[in-house]
C-alpha cells in the first residue's frame, strides 16, 4: 500500500490542460502529464483495497493497486512491467479511456477516486522516454500463420500477442495507414498518431507484417465507409494461405438520419469528416477537405464521436457549433449510492465542449432544409419522456441555421458484405456471432475464423477492443497448438 494515511492527507490531482485559446490553434495533444512528484502523491492515495474494485471495473483488469504502490515507491520500471502484463497499449488508454476503473474505485464511494488514468499515462510516457519499451521476441517460432483483418486496437492487440507466442502474423488493413479508429476516428488533439507509429515499429521488430490498402472480402458499391484499398483478397484465399484468421474490422456502418433533406450537400456522417482532418495532419494527399471554417455547424449526437466533431470544427474556425442530444440532460452529479461501482449516469463535459459549443438536450431533428441543393438549416422538436416513452412536445418546433450538419449518432453494425463474404453467422444486431467464454471462445461459425473487438461486440471502447484482441489471441493459440500460455 502507498501511504497508509495517503487518502486522508492528499487531494486528487487532475492532469492540467493547455488553455483553450492556445490549444485551438493547433492539432497537438494538450494534456500535461503528471510529473514524478504529482504521480507519487496520486499513488499514495491508493488504499490497496482487499477487494480492488478498480481492477474488476477495468476491462483489461489492470493490476492497479500494484502499479499505484510502485509509483509511490519510485520503481517506475516495475510499474511499467506490471501495466504491460494486462495492457499492450497503455499509451492509447492512458489518453482516451473514459476510465471505468476510476468510477469503480473504492475511494470514489465518498471521496474523489484515485487518479488511475493519469498514473497510467505517466508510467507509459516515462517508459517510452526512458527507452524501456522494447520488442519482446518470441523464444521460438511455431511455423503457424495467422491473418488479422483490421488494424484497430483489437487487431493490433491480437497480432502482438500472437507474434509473441511465436506465430507468423500478417495484419491486413484496407486503409492506407494502420490503427483503425485510433488513426482515422480519434482526432490528433486527443491522441497524436506518433504513438501508433512507434508501436508499429515495435511490432514489426517482433515479426508482425503489415499490409495496408488491402480489402479482405467486399465493400458495397457507394459505401461511405473509409476505404483506401488498392487490392482485394478473398476470404477463401486467406483461409488457404493462413492457419487461422481473426476478424477485427470494427463496427463501421454509421447510424443514418432518415428525414427529408438528408441528401442535401453539407450533410455528412462524422466518419466522412473526421478521417479527412486526420489525413491532413498526417500530410496525406486528399481530394478535397470537408471544412467547418466560417460555417454554422450542427452536430447531431451527444457522444464521443460528436464531441470530436465539435473539437475539430472549432479548430477549423467554425462560425458556431451546436450539438444535439436526443436524451434529456443528465444530472450534474451522479447518485453514488445507486451506481457505484458501475459507470455513473451524469452530465459529461469534454475538453472539446469546454472549447466552445452550445449543447441542446431532448431535441429531435424533423427535417433538413436547403436551398439550391445545399443545407441551410434544421427543423427540430423537443422531446420528453412519458411513461418510459419519448414523445414530442406539442408547439416546441424550432428552426436552426446550419451550413454543415454532422451525423454522429453511433454505429449500427460492421459492414455486412465483409461478414457475408466470410459466411459467418451474425447475431441479432448484425455483429459477428461468437462467444467470449468456454471452448468456442471468439470462434465464429466458420472453421479457423475468429472475431474480436467492435466487429464482434458492436461499437464500444478502445480498452474493450484491447481486451478482446488479447483474449482472441489466446483462443487462436489454443486452437493452433492445443494449449496456450498467453494470458486471458
Ligand X SMILES: Cc1cc2nc3c(=O)[nH]c(=O)nc-3n(C[C@H](O)[C@H](O)[C@H](O)COP(=O)(O)OP(=O)(O)OC[C@H]3O[C@@H](n4cnc5c(N)ncnc54)[C@H](O)[C@@H]3O)c2cc1C
Which listed option, ligand X, ligand SF4, none, makes contact with residue 307 (CB within 5 to 8 Å by class)? none
Which listed option, ligand SF4, ligand X, none, makes contact with residue 216 (CB within 5 to 8 Å by class)? ligand X
Q: Mapping DSSP to helix (H, G, I), strand (E, B) and coil, where does residue 278 land?
A: helix
Distance of alpha carbon 241 from its chain centroid, rounded? Answer: 31
Residues 271, 478: Cα–Cα separation, whole Å: 36
Strands 214-216 and 404-407: unpaired
Contact (CB, 8 A) for 457 and 88 = no
Question: Shortest Cβ distance from residue 479 to ligand X (Å)?
Answer: 20
Non-local CB neighbours of 275 within 8 Å, separated by 6+ positions: 184, 185, 226
Q: Which of 101, 460, 470, 476 binds ligand X (CB under 6 A)?
A: 460
Question: Shortest Cβ distance from residue 430 to ligand X (Å)?
Answer: 14
- Residue 201 exposed, middle or buried by CB count within 10 Å (0-12, 13-18, 19+): exposed
Q: Which stretch binds ligand X (CB under 6 A): 113-121, 333-341, 399-407, 454-462?
A: 454-462
Residues 260, 449: Cα–Cα separation, whole Å: 41
Nearer to ligand X, 308 or 334 (CB): 308
Q: Mapping DSSP to helix (H, G, I), strand (E, B) and coil, where does residue 196 land?
A: helix
Question: Shortest Cβ distance from residue 98 to ligand X (Å)?
Answer: 6
Question: Cell digits for 151?
Answer: 488494424
Which listed option, ligand X, ligand SF4, none, makes contact with residue 186 (CB within 5 to 8 Å by class)? ligand X
Using CB under 6 A as the criterion, what x/- string covers residues 239-258 for binding ligand X?
---------xxx--------
Which listed option, ligand SF4, ligand X, none, makes contact with residue 150 (CB within 5 to 8 Å by class)? ligand X
Q: Which of 106, 163, 216, 424 binds ligand X (CB under 6 A)?
A: 216
Q: Which stretch binds ligand X (CB under 6 A): 46-54, 150-158, 197-205, 325-333?
A: 150-158
Contact (CB, 8 A) for 453 and 442 = no
Q: Which stretch binds ligand SF4 (CB under 6 A): 62-70, 273-281, 288-296, 448-456?
A: 62-70
Question: Shortest Cβ distance from residue 261 to ligand X (Å)?
Answer: 24
Residues 55, 33: Cα–Cα separation, whole Å: 22
Using CB under 6 A as the criterion, what x/- string covers residues 399-428 for binding ligand X?
-------------------x----------
Using CB under 6 A as the criterion, what x/- string covers residues 82-121 for binding ligand SF4?
-----------------------xxx------x-x-----
Task: Report the site for ligand X in 261-290 (rule: CB under 6 A).
Answer: 274
Residues 94, 92: Cα–Cα separation, whole Å: 6
Question: Shortest Cβ distance from residue 136 to ligand X (Å)?
Answer: 21
Q: Which of 101, 107, 154, 451 binds ligand X (CB under 6 A)?
A: 154
Task: Report the site for ligand SF4 in 35-54 (rule: CB under 6 A).
Answer: 46-49, 52-54
Question: Shortest Cβ distance from residue 180 to ligand X (Å)?
Answer: 2
Q: Mapping DSSP to helix (H, G, I), strand (E, B) and coil, where does residue 63 land?
A: coil
Q: Half-sphere exposure of residue 27, counting CA atoms within 13 Å on the CB side?
A: 19
Residues 458, 336: Cα–Cα separation, whole Å: 28
- The answer to the question of residue 298 lying near ligand X (CB under 6 A) is no
End-to-end CA distance of the chain: 26
Question: Cell digits for 457?
Answer: 461486440
Q: Which stretch binds ligand X (CB under 6 A): 236-244, 284-292, 304-312, 376-384?
A: 304-312
Residue 360: CB atoms within 10 A of its CB come to 16
- The answer to the question of residue 465 lying near ligand X (CB under 6 A) is yes
Task: Report the site for ligand X in 185-204 (rule: CB under 6 A).
Answer: 185-186
Question: Cell digits for 28?
Answer: 497537438
Strands 296-300 and 449-451: unpaired
What is the crossing angle of helices 64-73 and 116-130, to 10°? 60
- The answer to the question of residue 94 lying near ligand X (CB under 6 A) is no
Q: Which of 97, 106, 318, 368 binds ligand X (CB under 6 A)?
A: 97
Residues 103, 113: Cα–Cα separation, whole Å: 7
Q: Which of 168, 304, 325, 334 binds ligand X (CB under 6 A)?
A: 304
- The answer to the question of residue 169 lying near ligand X (CB under 6 A) is no
Main-chain dihedrals φ then ψ at residue 353, nearest 5 degrees: -60, -40
Distance of alpha carbon 479 from its chain centroid, rounded? Answer: 28
Binding residues for ligand X (CB under 6 A): 96-97, 149-155, 172-175, 180-182, 185-186, 215-217, 248-250, 274, 304-305, 308, 418, 453-455, 460-463, 465
- The contact set with ligand SF4 (CB under 6 A) reads 46-49, 52-54, 64-65, 68, 105-107, 114, 116
Amino acid at each position: 500500500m502507498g501511504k497508509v494515511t495517503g487518502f486522508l492527507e492528499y487531494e486528487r490531482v487532475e492532469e492540467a490542460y493547455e488553455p483553450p485559446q492556445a490549444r485551438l490553434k493547433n492539432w497537438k495533444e494538450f494534456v500535461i502529464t503528471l510529473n514524478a512528484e504529482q504521480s507519487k502523491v496520486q499513488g499514495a492515495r491508493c488504499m490497496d483495497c482487499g477487494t480492488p474494485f478498480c481492477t474488476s471495473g477495468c476491462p483489461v483488469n489492470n493490476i492497479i493497486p500494484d502499479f499505484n504502490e510502485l509509483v509511490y515507491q519510485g520503481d517506475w520500471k516495475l510499474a511499467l512491467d506490471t501495466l504491460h502484463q494486462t495492457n499492450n497499449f497503455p499509451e492509447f488508454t492512458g489518453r482516451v479511456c473514459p476510465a471505468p476503473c476510476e468510477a469503480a474505485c473504492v475511494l470514489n464511494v465518498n471521496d474523489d477516486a484515485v487518479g488511475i488514468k493519469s498514473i497510467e499515462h505517466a508510467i507509459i510516457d516515462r517508459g517510452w522516454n526512458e527507452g524501456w519499451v522494447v520488442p519482446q521476441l518470441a523464444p521460438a517460432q511455431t511455423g503457424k500463420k495467422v491473418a488479422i483483418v483490421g488494424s484497430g486496437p483489437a487487431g493490433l492487440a491480437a497480432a502482438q500477442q500472437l507474434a509473441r507466442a511465436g506465430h507468423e502474423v500478417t495484419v491486413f488493413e484496407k486503409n492506407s495507414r494502420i490503427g483503425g479508429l485510433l488513426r482515422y476516428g480519434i482526432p490528433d488533439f486527443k491522441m497524436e498518431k506518433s504513438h501508433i507509429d512507434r508501436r508499429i515499429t515495435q511490432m514489426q521488430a517482433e515479426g508482425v507484417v503489415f499490409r495496408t490498402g488491402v480489402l479482405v472480402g467486399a465493400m458495397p458499391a457507394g459505401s461511405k465507409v473509409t476505404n483506401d484499398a488498392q487490392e482485394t483478397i478473398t476470404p477463401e484465399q486467406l483461409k488457404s494461405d493462413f492457419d487461422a484468421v481473426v476478424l477485427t474490422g470494427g463496427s463501421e456502418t454509421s447510424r443514418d438520419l432518415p428525414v427529408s433533406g438528408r441528401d442535401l450537400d453539407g450533410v455528412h456522417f462524422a466518419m466522412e469528416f473526421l478521417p479527412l482532418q486526420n489525413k491532413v495532419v498526417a500530410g496525406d494527399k486528399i481530394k478535397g477537405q470537408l471544412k467547418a471554417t466560417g460555417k454554422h455547424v450542427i452536430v447531431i449526437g451527444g457522444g464521443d464521436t460528436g464531441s470530436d466533431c465539435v473539437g475539430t470544427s472549432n479548430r477549423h474556425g467554425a462560425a458556431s457549433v451546436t450539438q444535439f442530444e436526443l436524451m434529456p440532460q443528465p444530472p450534474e452529479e451522479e447518485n453514488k449510492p445507486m451506481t457505484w461501482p458501475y459507470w455513473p449516469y451524469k452530465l459529461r463535459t469534454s475538453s472539446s465542449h469546454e472549447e466552445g459549443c452550445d449543447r441542446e438536450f431532448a431535441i429531435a431533428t424533423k427535417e433538413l432544409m436547403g436551398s439550391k441543393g445545399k443545407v441551410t438549416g434544421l427543423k427540430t422538436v423537443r422531446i420528453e419522456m412519458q411513461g418510459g416513452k419519448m414523445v414530442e412536445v406539442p408547439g416546441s418546433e424550432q428552426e436552426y441555421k446550419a451550413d454543415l450538419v454532422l451525423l454522429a449518432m453511433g454505429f449500427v453494425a460492421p459492414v455486412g458484405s465483409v461478414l457475408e463474404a466470410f459466411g459467418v453467422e451474425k447475431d441479432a444486431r448484425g455483429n459477428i456471432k461468437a462467444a467470449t467464454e468456454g471452448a468456442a471462445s471468439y470462434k465464429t461459425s466458420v472453421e479457423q475464423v475468429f472475431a474480436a473487438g467492435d466487429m464482434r461486440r458492436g461499437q464500444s471502447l478502445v480498452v474493450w477492443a484491447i481486451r478482446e484482441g488479447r483474449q482472441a489471441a489466446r483462443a487462436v493459440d489454443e486452437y493452433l497448438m492445443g494449449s496456450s500460455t498467453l494470458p486471458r
